[in-house]
Amino acid sequence: MVSDMVRVRFAPSPTGYLHIGGARTALFNWLYARHTGGKFILRIEDTDAARNTQAAVEVILNGLRWLGLDWDEGPLTADPAGPSRGEVGPYFQSQRGGNYEQRVEALLSRGLAYRHEGAVKFKMQREPIVIHDLVVGEVKRELTDREAEDPDFVIVRSDGQPVFHLVNVVDDLDMGITHVIRGEDHLSNTAKHIALFHAFGVQPPKYAHIPLILNNDGSKMSKRDTGASLTGYLDEGFMPEAVVNYLCLLGWSPKDNREKLSIAEVVERFDLPQILRHNARFDMTKLQWLNGEYLRELPPEKFHAAAVHALARAGIDTNAWPLDYVRAALNTCLGKVKLFSELPAYAGFYFTDDVKLDPAALAKDLSAENKLRIQKLRDAFAEQESFSAAALEAALKAVAAECGVKAGPLVHPTRLACTGNSAGPSLYHLLEILGKDRVLVRMDRALASA
């Protein structure tokens, strides 16, 4: 043994999207590498030439980068023939054909594999194989009924293409992988893989099969299910820190009742044996809560940058407005939304002169008697010099007292008139930011159309 350094890998197949379960598998591999001071390797299993495109690889690279899961070895670009980092490349299976051929020849020449109808089949042992899994424990894999009839399996198809079991094992061997951390869906395959490692004359790596992530109703999470694709989180305005934090909590626990943990803390505490053995259901609501926690703590500059981006995505160009105005407006939203994707609806009124007013809501808030009060308030606002939040609050309360009502009957219609919504940022601050001209125009317009 030259080194006992941990080497783990994430080996996705580029299908065009990164499954949230795959992202967690990558995360757990990354965590283990960082925890042990080992290496995290990225390998692209692009053996299906027809299906795999560079764009599909890009999705994976971008997803991992977004999550902050940097790889020590692997491709630098989505181009299979492009540059990579690491000593055991190429890191695309499509570029490693020679290795597989050699390994198959070796098995063939030693009588451990044989040709059959144009394909190559591996001579699988009939005795049960015991898997010492770091998560699941000791698993004795007996032959299934079909395997009892023919335990041998194809490792090279009749068209010459090597199959998954073969390439996966050969690469793990050639890349010096010490721990295979992957989804539990591979547990049954592991017996085949162990047999192949033995056939190549080496000890298999250690295995850790992590449980699957299911939909909230317990069904399998497939491509179409909401939350299945990592890209969706990016689009919905989630923060990668929140997604990573949430994923850490699925099947692993810090055991100290805390939910919000920095990635550094997780790296320090993470270990394979503590991973739970049962599947976890995905709870989007809890992720959103966590995202809100992270979002609330965002420094204003970062919040602004992400907010501007989210607004632009919704067709709201904040560049058309003075920078100070945009800053002030967004400041009133900090800590009030859980997702950036909520912002266009929440703060859009700042960036339009055409606030949509719901007639029903208008009729309710601006009843005949209330209309008079709002008219009074409008006039009081018109006389305001400073138009500061504090002054506006004082003015509104004065009008309320004069009319013999609480603040509510004035606050709600004013908010509706100026924002088109019944909920939103602090009213007085929002009025100050909109400024006297816009506020008066909007109030007049609401009064006129009520």
Partner RNA sequence: GGCCUGUUCGUCUAUCGGUUAGGACGCGGCCCUCUCAAGGCCGAAAGAUGAGUUCGAUUCUCAUACGGGCUACCA
Please list the active-site residues: 223
Closest CA to 41 of 1, 78, 70, 71: 71
Contact between 407 and RNA by CB under 7 A: the answer reads: yes
Residue 142 in the binding site for RNA (CB under 7 A): yes
Q: Does 424 bind RNA (CB under 7 A)?
A: yes
Residue placing its CB nearer to RNA in the complex, 38 or 211: 211
Interaction of residue 427 with RNA, rule CB under 7 A: yes
Residue 136 interacts with RNA (CB under 7 A)?
Answer: yes
Note whether 278 binds RNA by CB under 7 A.
yes
| 24 and 213 Cβ atoms separated by less than 8 Å | yes
Q: Is 388 in the site for RNA (CB under 7 A)?
A: no
Closest CA to 345 of 260, 291, 229, 425: 425
Among residues 253, 331, 341, 384, the one that binds RNA under rule CB under 7 A? 253
C-beta atoms surrounding 244 within 10 Å: 22
- Candidates 184, 170, 186, 206; CA nearest to 36 is 206
**257 vs 319, beta carbon nearer RNA:** 257
Instruction: Find the shortest distance in angstroms from Cβ 217 to RNA.
Output: 8
Q: Residue 424 has what DSSP assignment?
A: -
Contact status: 172 vs RNA (CB under 7 A): no
| Residues numbered 279-308 forming contacts with RNA, rule: CB under 7 A | 279-281, 283, 285-286, 289, 292, 296
The angle subtended at Cα 234 by Cα 286 and Cα 65, nearest 5°, is 110
Q: What are phi and psi of 147, to 5 degrees?
A: -65, -30
Regarding 147 and contact with RNA (CB under 7 A), the answer is yes
Joined together, the tokens standing for residue 336 give 């009030």
Neighbours of 141 (CB within 10 A): 17
Q: Does 386 bind RNA (CB under 7 A)?
A: no
Q: Which stretch binds RNA (CB under 7 A): 66-74, 100-108, 141-149, 373-381?
A: 141-149
- 170 contributes a contact to RNA by CB under 7 A: no
Under the criterion CB under 7 A, does residue 149 sit at the interface with RNA? no
Distances (CA, A) of 48 to 52, 118, 294: 6, 19, 39
Judged by beta carbon, residue 19 or residue 34, the one nearer RNA is 19
- The DSSP element (H or E) to which 389 belongs, if any, is helix 389-403
Contact partners, residue 194, CB within 8 Å, separation at least 6: 129, 131, 204
Residue number with CB closer to RNA (38 or 151): 151
Instruction: Choose the binding region for RNA from 69-77, 117-125, 198-206, 309-317 (rule: CB under 7 A).
Output: 117-125
Residues 428-447 that bind RNA (CB under 7 A): 428-429
Site for RNA contains 320 (CB under 7 A): no
Q: Tell me the residue length of the chain.
A: 450
Q: Which of residues 193-222 bind RNA (CB under 7 A)?
A: 212, 214, 216, 218-220
| Bridge-based pairing state of the strands 179-183 and 206-210 | parallel
